[in-house]
Amino acid sequence: MRDSGRRRRDLLVLSSLGAVLLATSTGTAAAKPPPSDPLQQQVDAVHHTGAVGVAAEVTSPTTRDVARAGAAEKGTRQQVPLNGRFRIGSATKTFTATVVLQLVGEGRMSLEDTVEHWLPGVVQGNGNDGNRITVRQLLQHTSGIHDTGPDIPALTSADGYRAERFRTYTIEELVRLAMQPSPSVAPHEEPWAYANTNYLLVALITQKVTGRSWVQEVNDRIIRPLGLRDTSAPGSFPFILGPHAHGYAFDGSTDVTVLNSSMAVGSGSIISTAHDLNRFYAALLGGRLLAPAQLDAMTTTVNAPELGIRYGLGLAEIPLSCGGNYFGHRGELLGYITWGGATRDGTRTAVVYVSSDGGQDTEQAMTTLMDQELCRPRS
């Protein structure tokens, strides 16, 4: 989930590079790897762009490489935790899309169902029409619905953050906010326009289909079955439990580690680690979470000119400099930025995150890391 117009511009620059994130060093030992370690070199390069803290992990069937750089908290000499927890932002969307596609595979709903079918009267007014928007369009960001992210004070300024960091939003409240302006584009007229509201609506539809909350479905369908012990969907709980680096935003001037992320339910609220995210991507692309038909639907992509890449259902397709591509997702939620993904068969994965705003140089270094690590043969 993006937290300001400036971050939106950073995302465009990042995505136009057409690479993914990742990072790593070798082994799980606490000692810093030698300078010749290519993953550590990549992580150091990200840190040198001004990121407060950086950590990454890269995996293959027989290896697990990790690397880190920078401080866990400004003004201290405490290192970034090797498997620290952080808010994964929009990488949450891949979890949400996976839940929906499981429900489709079970015959409980269809990608061609309209929003109006499941949420009668919710998407109406100011040019919005739930009869013309399908679940597929929500997952694919082709609905034309207004993005609520830039309208949340806690995500747009330091003053707004201090005033609203503990505020709880409901999905219904956020959707009503999105219905106020005219849609940014009309369905079917413009092929792609990013909006976190799409996934707020998907979370609400998931609740209608199952009679259970989005949090319960994500926990029972993905987090628990995969044994992702350091991953959680916190709801309105504002703290990151366990080892973690502090997050900094608004040009690094404000510690934003504490945040009620209820404004990002379904779209950006999950807390995880690089290790857990790698396990998720490996399971997803390896076919352990979705049947072949549903995985094919998720990885069938359309052009996303706003990002300079292609986008499927909660999953981006990013080209690799060595040929081919990988599937993953960028994530950002106030003070934490991540890139993560896997090769098409799920055998190689990479995740990298920073604990600060970042900028064009940081984003470029992260995508370069992702590209080089997923291209580098694993011994």
90 in active site:
yes
In 194-243, alpha helices (H): 197-210, 214-218
142 conformational bin, left if phi > 0, alpha if psi -120 to 50, beta if neither: alpha
Task: Print burial letters for 343-372: b (CB count within 10 Å at least 16), e (below 16).
Answer: beebebbbbbbbbbbbbeebbbbbbbbbbb
User: Was domain 5-375 assigned CATH 3.40.50.2300?
Assistant: no
Q: What does pLDDT average to in each consecutive run of 10 residues of the chain (379 residues)?
A: 42 38 36 69 96 97 95 96 96 98 98 98 91 97 89 94 97 90 58 92 98 97 98 96 97 95 96 98 98 98 91 97 96 96 96 91 95 84
373 close to 42: Cβ distance less than 8 angstroms: yes
The set of residues, in sequence order, having a beta carbon less than 8 Å from that of 101 and lying 6+ positions away, is 290, 294, 295, 297, 298, 313
Q: What is the pLDDT of residues 275-317, one digit of tens each?
A: 999 999 999 999 999 999 999 999 999 999 888 899 999 999 9
End-to-end CA gap in the chain: 35
Of 15, 25, 90, 355, the catalytic one is: 90
pLDDT at 346: 95
Going from N- to C-terminal start, the domains of the chain cover: 5-375
Residue 93, pLDDT score: 98
Residue 350: closest CA among 40, 66, 154: 66
Q: How far apart are CA 12 and CA 116, in angstroms?
A: 32
Q: What is the per-residue pLDDT for 35?
A: 53
Q: Which burial class, exposed, middle or buried, applies to 61 when counting CB atoms under 10 A from its CB (0-12, 13-18, 19+)? A: exposed
List pLDDT tens digits, range 5-16: 434 433 433 343
The conformational region for residue 330 under phi > 0 = left, psi -120 to 50 = alpha, else beta, is beta
Cβ contacts of 181 within 8 Å, gap of 6 or more: 126, 146
